[in-house]
Structure formats: structure tokens, C-alpha cells
Amino acid sequence: MSRASRAHRIALAAAYGGGGLGLLGAAATGLLFGEAQLAKWTIKVPDGPVPNCDGDYGTQFAADGVEPLTVAVLGDSTAAGMGAELPRQTPGALLANGLADILRRPVRLHCFAVVGALTADLYPQLNQALELQPDVAVVLVGANDVTHVVRPPVSVRHLSRVVGQLAAAGSRVVVGTCPDLGTIRPIRQPLRWVCRRWSRELAAAQTIATVEAGGRTVSLGDLLGPEFLAAPEELFSADHFHPSPAGYAKATAALLPTVASVLGGLGEPAEEKLTAAMLRSLPHAAAAAADRAGTEVSAAGPTPAGGRWAQLRRRVRLLAARPTDPHPPGTMVTEPATEG
């Protein structure tokens, strides 16, 4: 069975309440759970709290009557920025600085992400975000579902509900799908091989569920994998599990163009709109994106067979050369413009 078919079955099981379709039998699942526990003991979580990145960015673009864009970040320790040393090194701050630079508007960031969160744990974060009615919500989740051996349909069902509620409230939603955990060295074989397969299939199913619920996805996949093998001390933090500041910058650079686009900050090239090769059925688009990190998947209308077409894009955007730390909300500060 192809990855597209498996991802489609997982998404269907999520939609209709199925809990099966696990990759492995009960005995193998027990083995993997034990290996996952060992990986948790091996991975040394950085000491100290995650830097607080909440606040205002791009205050140099503030003017009378210009309301800041509101950005909410939901998810797990990667969304929170564990492994970063300063607020400006976290994914939320990098996104906020980048959006301010692209859109020439101030950005107010609220990061609700919780270290260790599973997809099922997103609902308190969702409630906090819905109170704000953010212009855009960015969700990074899924890795803990794999290491905790959560069945993919269960994980995807929760994600679909979260994305659907955010979209229904008027927020644009961008999901960074589950990274490829097969690149993480503290995870041993056979768990590493299974994690690679499981995380990619979860990423594909996340894409199907997100697009059907009204959001877009960007695949993170093995975005850091090849570079990590060559220079693990550069792109991963001391625990060899969470990204380093350089790793977060690389991942955020993949997310930023899509987040800016849903806010109207980047025009879509005409030739991209007309390229039939970019259109695929949603399950096939999801599978293709899972195999190539940095690929955006968005809805492109219904298919003749009653499914949904999806459009794939790969975007590149440089982050601001000198990202800043946040200012307290409401602070008006004059700063030199950052370089894109």
C-alpha cells in the first residue's frame, strides 16, 4: 500500500472515529514503547525554562491607527523553542520578526506552546488562542505522539478539531507537520526505523486533515537531517533532540513564506497558478510533501471524483538579519529596519 493510501486511511479513520490502523501489532508496540522510554532517559532535556517570546515585534512599523497583527503559536517543545537561549531565537520570535519585515507592520506574538504536549493536549492552548482571535495561528505538533506511540488516527483527529475551530473563528492556520524522528540519534534501532516511517505517515495524514479543515501545511520532515549528520553540534541543541538556534532559524525559514502568504504578504506568481504539475489529489500531495521537507500544501478545489485537489509549492525566504527580542505589548519603540 502506498504512503498516500495509508495517509488517506489514517485521515478517514480519524474522521469517522476509527482507532486502529496502527503500524504494528501489540507485541511490537510494547517493544517500541520500551525503546521510547529508553530514548527519554537518554535525551537530556536542557535545564531552565524556555525563553518567553511573547510581546510586540516590528515596533518600528507602528503608526497611528495601525493595529498589530496577532500571531498565536500552539504546540509542543519545538513550538515553544526549547533549546533556544534567547527569546529572539525561538520559532515564534523568528516568525514575528520575519512577518513584520515582510508586511511592514507590527506583530503581537502569543506563544501558548507547552513542553511535552501531545496533539490531544492542544485544547487548553486552543481555548487561549480563541480568546484572542489571532490573524494567524501556527501549530507545531506530532513528535511526542510518535515517541509516546499514540495511534495516528487518534492524533490526527485531535489536530483536525483544533484546526477546524481556529479556521471557523476566522484565523488562518498553518501547521508544521511532524518532523522525521528517524534523524534523531538518541532514538535507537529498531525504534528509529519505525519512527521514520511512522512520523512521515503521520505528517501526510496531518496534511490531509489540516487542508480539509481549512488550513495549510508545511512539511518539516528531515529538514535538519542531512545537516545534522554532518554537524550535529550546529543544528541541534545539547540534548541532540531539540533544534539549536540555527536549527530553529532553518525550520522557521521554511514556515515563514507560507505564514506571510496567508496574511496576504506575498503574491503568488502567475506561472505557479497555471502549472498543472503542481496540482495533485490531496492524499498524493500529502505523501509527496512528507518526502520533501519545506513543501507547502494548500487546497485547490474539489476533484471530479468528489475528493479534493491540492497545490504544492516550495518557497524560500530569508529571515531578518538581526531579529530582535520582544517588547512588552503596547510599547512603541523606534528601531532601524532589519534587513531581509
* Residue numbers annotated as active site: 77, 239, 242
Query: What's the one-letter identity of residue 281?
Result: S
Query: Three cell numbers at 298?
Result: 494548500
Per-residue exposure over 87-110, b if at least 16 CB sit within 10 Å of its own CB, e if not? bbbbbbbbbbbbbbbbbebbbbbb
Query: What's the one-letter identity of residue 147?
Result: T
DSSP helix/strand/coil, 66: coil
| Residue 291 to residue 325: CA distance in whole angstroms | 34
Numbers of helices and strands, H then E, in the chain = 13, 9
H or E segment to which residue 67 belongs: none
Torsion, CA 120, CA 70, CA 224, CA 122, rounded to 10: 0
| Residue 25 to residue 27: CA distance in whole angstroms | 6
DSSP 8-state class, residue 328: P
Is 171 in contact with 136 (CB distance < 8 Å)?
yes
H or E segment to which residue 25 belongs: none
| Residue 38 to residue 337: CA distance in whole angstroms | 47
Q: Where are the beta strands (DSSP E) in the chain?
A: 55-57, 69-75, 107-111, 136-140, 172-176, 216-218, 279-281, 295-302, 308-314
DSSP string, 132-176: H--SEEEEE--HHHHHTT--HHHHHHHHHHHHHHHHHTT-EEEEE
Query: What's the one-letter identity of residue 35?
Result: E
